[in-house]
Amino acid sequence: MKQPRIAITTLVANRAWVLPWFLGCLAGLDHPKDRLSLLVIDDGSADETPAQLDVFRAQYEGSFRKIDILRRDYPNPATSARNTDDRKEGYPKLASLRNLALDWAVEQKADYQFSIDSDILVAPGILTRLLSHGLPYVASMIWNDVTDRGYIGDNLENRVTNAGFLNHRGRWEQFRKYQLSKPVVRPCGYSGAVYLVDRATLDSGARFGGEHPDMDHHCEDYSYCWALQLLSIDRHIDEQRQAVHVMIPSRLQDALGAYVAWFGVFPEKLG
């Protein structure tokens, strides 16, 4: 039986400081490369990002099923609304880019879309793990707050995560209690950053950028999860460590150390 076809999509903007490791992790996924397609949307990078992407395509275009690099040239490039002057302005822009990626995955006739932010280093087995759940939408847990004790060790409770729920006041609230010794897969209201969606979800018509609770305070991923909720499509979060978030350049070495500590191998690096 053939492995499913997976469309990997990501947005980049001035990510040269982490991109060689990010692309190396994609190349190291334990899924047949001829069943992987990749779309990178480069949002007007002014550093070495375009050159690094060209090196990756030259090295792997004969292995991957397809590699597309879409270069956009916006006046205010960003891979996150944190990089924009106004989050209310940044989120709609990011939503439009994510919809481009989603539409591309549909056009590829992929069985799944694997959406991943370009500052996340994933374990080789993440696709095998997420596919095994057979869920319409399942994200991998990441921890965003890395400013106090770094990544090493198990003292991660109460860190900011990429998942949460709609509380009794009708507001989005982040998960702050989760298991590390016995990781679970559990329902969530919203997630983002690194997730897998199946073909039925791709075909559902759900898109980024619509109205949703707390639009003024939270990111564009919420609008997509809200659209899925309105269509009664369940979302889940996998709490097993499968991804390391490298939020800023100064945390790269800590993140690489966490990767080795968590997964027992050093991440692959482009070149």
- Domain definitions of the chain by residue range: 6-263
What are 28-63's pLDDT values in tens digits? 999 999 999 999 999 889 999 999 999 999 999 999
Distances in Å between the alpha carbon of 26 and those of 19, 39, 51, 268? 10, 12, 17, 9
* Mean pLDDT of the region 229-253: 90
pLDDT given at position 95: 87
Specify the pLDDT at position 214.
55
Asked if residues 139 and 191 have their Cβ atoms less than 8 Å apart, the reply is yes
What is the model's pLDDT at position 154?
47
In terms of C-beta density within 10 A (0-12 exposed, 13-18 middle, 19 or more buried), how is residue 142 classed?
buried
Name the band, by pLDDT with cuts 50, 70 and 90, for residue 169: low
Contact (CB, 8 A) for 146 and 252: no
| CATH superfamily membership of 6-263 | Spore Coat Polysaccharide Biosynthesis Protein SpsA; Chain A (3.90.550.10)
Please name the residue ranges forming H helices in the chain. Answer: 19-27, 49-60, 87-107, 126-131, 199-202, 220-230, 252-263
Highest mean pLDDT among 154-158, 191-195, 255-259: 191-195
For CA atoms 185, 126, 242, 214, give the dihedral sign.
negative
User: Which carries the bigger pLDDT value, residue 147 or residue 221?
Assistant: 221
Report the b/e string of 41-66 with b at 16+ CB within 10 A: bbbbbeeebbebbebbbeebeeebbe
Instruction: Assess whether pLDDT exceeds 90 at residue 182.
Output: no
Per-chain mean pLDDT for the chain: 84
Q: Would you state the pLDDT for residue 138?
A: 98
Nearest to 6, CA basis, from 116, 110, 159: 110
